Amino acid sequence: MARYIFITGGVVSSLGKGLASAALGALLQARGYSVRLRKLDPYLNVDPGTMSPFEHGEVFVTDDGAETDLDLGHYERFTGVSARKTDSISSGRIYSNVLEKERRGDYLGKTIQVVPHVTNEIKDFLRIGESECDFMLCEIGGTVGDIEGLPFFEAIRQFIHERPRGECILMHLTLLPYLAASGELKTKPTQHSVKELQSIGLAPDVLVCRSEHPIPERELEKIALFCNVRKQAVVPAYDLKTIYEAPLAYHRAGLDQAVLNAFGIEPAPKPNLARWEDVMDRITNPEGEVRVAIVGKYTQLEDAYKSIAEALTHGGMANRVKVRAEWINSEIFEKEDPAPHLERFQAILVPGGFGERGTEGKIKAAQYAREKGIPYLGICLGMQMAVIEAARNLAGLSDAGSEEFDHEAGAKRFTPVVYHLKEWVQGNHVVARKLGDDKGGTMRLGAYDAALVPGSKVAEIYGSTRIEERHRHRYEVDTQFKAQLESCGLIFSGMSPDGRLPEIVEVKGHPWYIGVQFHPELKSKPFAPHPLFASFVEAAVGVSRLV
């Protein structure tokens, strides 16, 4: 059975619990253990799928079609373990499950309460797949003391006491603020955070203390004394130049050893950190630099495109170059010529998104890349913009557009080369959708196969004519325009196995111009860069050497 590590946070949010969890998972793997990571989010949304990217950052999609928190992206990138639906839960989902059971009569007429019904539902979630790994790492979102998080903390308290002693530990992240006026690091917020935990029956076994300044030995001793934690289990965590330094930095600070000591695992297997040493070597010793423009509409919050930013970094590592990504609001190009903004870049990427705002600017960016021979990668909506651009400027359909924008405006203005997807094949059955369906969880979600045209650019990049990639969309390019567009040089080089849904387009004769309906960034890892991103950056390197 798995040993459980519960990761909580205190003082403030956004301390890096997700990153610490992912790094710890990687370190345990380096010692030969198998791991699985989970996220428990206290918000009442059923999942992040309908939340604004400005509110929550990107939505990370799993192979089995779950819309999850972006922290699951960190988990996958650091451990290589594919996340599943059962690795992400929210208060909204927990309460929804409990209420569905109550409506069915599963509780036999009992009064439904937070304890035991909600906490039992949380504990049932924690037990899923517990025989499949050596360590189960469960991160609880938010901070200790949040009213929404109390059922989760209570469930964890019960869970720990129900398991045999030594099978569960608690790791708590806190902040040590620095007061410039007095030149001191203050430990009191950490003490209060631990006291809050203790008041609900939980005691940390390992404390991770985030700080922008070195933590003196006497402060570590003070924290250990007042928080009832062994000094060796008080782990300093400092700001890093890159997130991929985290496994090595946490190892140097003794995090993995502190965790294994807390479980009484002695002697512990020695870690093999060669993978992470190679990752750091590639990041810190680049042999060049390329500039990539990301033309989107959620540019005010970089977390909205977190996986894309990381996949570009991985592509740079594959080519031993630094990728300097710059975020450009596509709405600028609706008022101004894109050339002065884009001519200093070696490649252009147009990511996914929803709604019409900013799309005309994305179409102009796609046109600029096509006409100037600049490497272009269009992802999801970015592929659809490339198709609309080609339909307008190559195939003569001057009013080409997307049904999505007509639906949003409530008026028919475009010839819809992109339409609302009403049915598709998933496994052995057909999925049907109507325009008026609920928004949450109704898109084409998760991993689907695609068949690539032999001899195409993408078949060469993947080294295969059969691929599997993750999707998240409800609008699709219409195949009735396929012949017309292909006669103009826009090749449909990837299709769904049944030939009904376009998956990839590329421009014939262009050095590197590819649009994909799926999200390749979700599968990229620092030690296994996605082939599309590696090839895209390689093409950008070629442009930089021409300049």
Catalytic residues: 380, 519, 521
Nearest to 73 by CA among 539, 530, 546: 530
Nearest to 386 by CA among 363, 416, 356: 363
Q: What is the C-alpha separation between 318 and 469, in angstroms, rounded?
A: 20
In 264-380, which residue ranges form alpha helices assigned H by DSSP?
274-284, 306-318, 339-342, 359-372
Q: Tell me if 18 is assigned to a ligand binding site.
A: yes
Q: Tell me if 90 is assigned to a ligand binding site.
A: no
Q: Tell me if 15 is assigned to a ligand binding site.
A: yes
Q: What is the C-alpha separation between 439 and 461, in angstroms, rounded?
A: 35
Q: Tell me if 191 is assigned to a ligand binding site.
A: yes
Q: Do 293 and 543 meet the contact criterion of CB atoms below 8 Å apart? A: no
Nearest to 43 by CA among 91, 94, 98, 97: 91
Q: Tell me if 19 is assigned to a ligand binding site.
A: yes
Q: Tell me if 14 is assigned to a ligand binding site.
A: yes
Q: Tell me if 139 is assigned to a ligand binding site.
A: yes
Q: Tell me if 313 is assigned to a ligand binding site.
A: no
Q: What SS3 class is residue 525?
A: strand
Q: What is the C-alpha separation between 48 and 65, in angstroms, rounded?
A: 13
Q: Tell me if 362 is assigned to a ligand binding site.
A: no
Beta strands in 427-526 (DSSP E): 429-432, 444-452, 466-473, 475-477, 490-495, 502-507, 513-516
Q: How many helices (H) and strands (E) does the chain have?
A: 19, 25
Rg (CA), the chain: 25
Query: How many CA atoms lie within 13 Å of 39's alpha carbon, on the beta-carbon side?
Result: 29
Q: Tell me if 186 is assigned to a ligand binding site.
A: yes
Secondary structure in 3-state letters for 370-419 = HHHCCCEEEECHHHHHHHHHHHHHCCCCCCEEEHHHHHHHCCCCCEEEEE
Q: Tell me if 240 is assigned to a ligand binding site.
A: yes
Q: Tell me if 190 is assigned to a ligand binding site.
A: yes
Q: Tell me if 211 is assigned to a ligand binding site.
A: no
Q: Spell 113-141 as b/e; 16+ CB within 10 A means b.
A: eeeebbbebbeebbeeeeeebebbbbbbb
Beta strands in 14-117 (DSSP E): 35-41, 60-61, 67-68, 88-90
Neighbouring C-beta atoms of residue 109, cutoff 10 Å = 6
Q: Tell me if 17 is assigned to a ligand binding site.
A: yes
Q: Tell me if 315 is assigned to a ligand binding site.
A: no
Q: Do 403 and 474 meet the contact criterion of CB atoms below 8 Å apart? A: no
Q: Tell me if 205 is assigned to a ligand binding site.
A: no
Amino acid code (one letter) for 32: G
CA angle 294, 382, 84 (to 5 degrees): 90
Q: Tell me if 382 is assigned to a ligand binding site.
A: yes
Q: Tell me if 188 is assigned to a ligand binding site.
A: yes
Q: How far apart are the first and last CA of the chain?
A: 58
Q: Tell me if 129 is assigned to a ligand binding site.
A: no
Q: What is the C-alpha separation between 492 and 482, in angstroms, rounded?
A: 7
Q: What is the C-alpha separation between 108 and 475, in angstroms, rounded?
A: 44
Q: Do 497 and 451 meet the contact criterion of CB atoms below 8 Å apart? A: yes
- List residues forming the annotated binding site: 13-19, 71, 139, 146-148, 186-191, 222, 240, 353, 381-384, 404, 474
Q: Which residues are annotated as a binding site for UTP?
A: 13, 186-191, 222
List the binding residues for L-glutamine: 353, 381-384, 404, 474
Annotated binding site for CTP: 13, 146-148, 186-191, 222
| Residue numbering of the annotated binding site for ATP | 14-19, 71, 240
Annotated binding site for Mg(2+): 71, 139
